[in-house]
A = this chain, B = another copy of it.
Amino acid sequence: MKHLGVEPAHAGAGALVRLFHVSKSYLAGTWALRDVSLELGKGEFVFLTGPSGAGKTTLMRMIFADEQPSEGQIIVLGRNVSRLSPSAVPALRRRIGVVFQDFKLLSRRTVEENVGLALDVVGTPARERRARVFAMLKRVGLQHRRYHHPLSLSGGEQQRLAIARALVNDPEVLLADEPTGNLDPDLTLEIMDLIADAAARGTAVFVATHDHGLIERYGRRVVRLEGGELAEDTPIRRPLL
């Protein structure tokens, strides 16, 4: 199953995300990521997989500038993340949608406000904001809960809320960390279709997942990490069904 060294589908200058020999060490002497090189093009959909602690979340956090690489370079949307000034970070993040493994919802704001946040930070006019938030909530099946607070939602509902927030702003890059871990199989497919739609509209998508069924089903490019190292980078296959 190993396809090391295979050229990624959308390599070259058009890539939205590029990692050059990236390493990351949180604790001296241990490597969370080790010499990872990778490219992700416009509209590309990649599954990121690997055992627990392999470095999937770490890789994503470096892409949206939440951590700096210890070695190597990361270019996201034309910007070198390690040389980004702190004041330039927000602007970059507004172009990236992130579904966090632990959701990171604002418990003091309503469902509607949590989703709207991604539009508020870019200053979308009120009317447009309202319409887009409502449409997004409808797509993840939470429109009837829009005036409630996240803490009164079930685990799966919170996860869908996190996905809605990441997608509402049509980001150029989408990083989804285990976005269906709390969802039942039917919902999982619905949500994955939503994410695939985004990719079809040009978003570069990274989905970290442990769900091999899902990977099989969608037959997209698969990047597998193991102990921080790139263990596999299988290019796109046709879906099985």
Q: Which residues of B contact A50 (CB under 8 A)?
A: 184
Instruction: Name the interface size band of chain A.
Output: 20 to 34
- Asked if B52 and A160 sit within 8 Å, CB to CB, the answer is yes
Question: Given contacts A52-B160, A102-B102, is CB(A183)–CB(B210) below 8 Å?
Answer: yes
Q: Which residues of B contact A157 (CB under 8 A)?
A: 52-53
Q: In the complex, what's the smallest C-beta–C-beta distance from A204 to chain B, in angstroms?
A: 22
Residue in A155, A183, A186 whose Cβ sees the most chain B Cβ within 10 Å: A155
Q: Which of A111-128 contact B (CB under 8 A)?
A: none
Kindly report how many copies of this chain are found in the complex they form together: 2
- Asked if B155 and A177 sit within 8 Å, CB to CB, the answer is yes
Quick one: which of B26, B152, B185 contacts A26, CB cutoff 8 A?
Answer: B152
Q: Which residues of B contact A178 (CB under 8 A)?
A: 155, 181-182
- Asked if B160 and A182 sit within 8 Å, CB to CB, the answer is no
Quick one: which of B57, B154, B212 contacts A53, CB cutoff 8 A?
Answer: B154
A149 to B155, CA, bound (A): 24
Question: Given contacts A57-B154, A155-B101, is CB(A51)–CB(B212) below 8 Å?
Answer: no
Question: Could you list some 7 contacts between A and B, CB below 8 A?
Answer: A52-B159, A56-B154, A57-B154, A57-B155, A101-B182, A178-B182, A182-B210
